Amino acid sequence: MTVEKIEFSEHKFEVPGDFSEGTRLDKYLATQLDDTSRTKVQEAIEGGHITVNGKVEKSSYNVEPGDVIDVKLPNPPEPEAIPQKMPLEIVYEDDDLLIVNKRAGTVVHPAKGNWTGTLVNGLLWHVDSLSGQDQDTLRPGIVHRLDKETSGLLVVAKNNRTHEILSEYFKNKDIQRTYWAIIWGTPEEESGTITGNIGRDPHHRKRMAVLPEGQGKEAVTHYKVLEYFDHLSLVEVTLETGRTHQIRVHFAHNNHWVFGDRQYGGDSVRYGSNTGTRRQMFNNLFANLKRQCLHAKTLGFEHPTTGEHVTFDSELPGDCQQVLATLRANCKPKPLY
């Protein structure tokens, strides 16, 4: 039996000196707090969780310039991940783990805005148990993640021992992973390494960015060009680190945006002419792709139980294959250097 522990989020507001008097406390706070209704504010006031200048006031209190308002709001309980029947592409499965080829558009685990329809919901329907399932978590079995619109291979742990070992593999870089991506531009070097610390973009809350030295976390990305086109390239990517959006951010920072990436600017014509039939061709590709052309293609590691080295490979999904076929037919493929 799990005893529910109520956690609070704390906020402090100082009413500006030019604020017009006459606004009720509950109404004022409802406009200042994100995702909080006036009713929730009133309940917090009645529960003594909101003070004005150190005193508990009523909801009808008229806010005045200079008031200091301290707020403690109970966080809503985190919903449980529930089993849901959905199609899953299981590449491999045994008693300890399974390998899933995740579809683009699928969120890995439940979170705000995506409480259902995630990979975890489908996994809970498919298997009897996952690692961490007996704990208060929305991420049972999940050892690593892929962005929602990135397709490809994921390893999932069925028990805690396997989860711990796989996590150590990722920590110690003992997992071999390669990605395929179509990028804008043609890198001067056939192979190379991109470095640059990655952290939250200070100007765009929902994006990541390469930050100055001393900020963010170290990130290292290796690439090899597999095929050159007129103003685009197919590349194979390996990661030394696993930062959020790492591949997309590193390539965008170097003016080689991942093709179709709406969040980082890869969904417009970046090189070459943007007129006539060429413009229409790319607009059609963007409309059909609806995501970044990035796929986690291979995954290799030592099996935690058998000790055998196992390697898994997945084909590019149809939407990315369509982009490649169009580029090969229309964008003057050229040989590697």
Q: State the catalytic residues.
A: 147
Interatomic CA distance for residues 40 and 30, integer angstroms:
9
- Residue (of 331, 237, 326, 232) closest to 288 by Cα position: 326
Burial class (CB in 10 A: 0-12, 13-18, 19+), 298: middle
Tokens of 246: 């790492």
Neighbours of 281 (CB within 10 A): 16
- Residue (of 237, 235, 228, 146) closest to 182 by Cα position: 235
Tell me which long-range contacts 317-322 makes (C-beta under 8 A, separation of at least 24).
Answer: 317/103, 317/104, 317/151, 319/104, 319/288, 319/289, 319/290, 319/291, 319/293, 320/151, 320/180, 320/182, 320/289, 320/293, 320/295, 322/285, 322/288, 322/289
Interatomic CA distance for residues 47 and 24, integer angstroms:
17
- Residue (of 145, 227, 164) closest to 190 by Cα position: 227
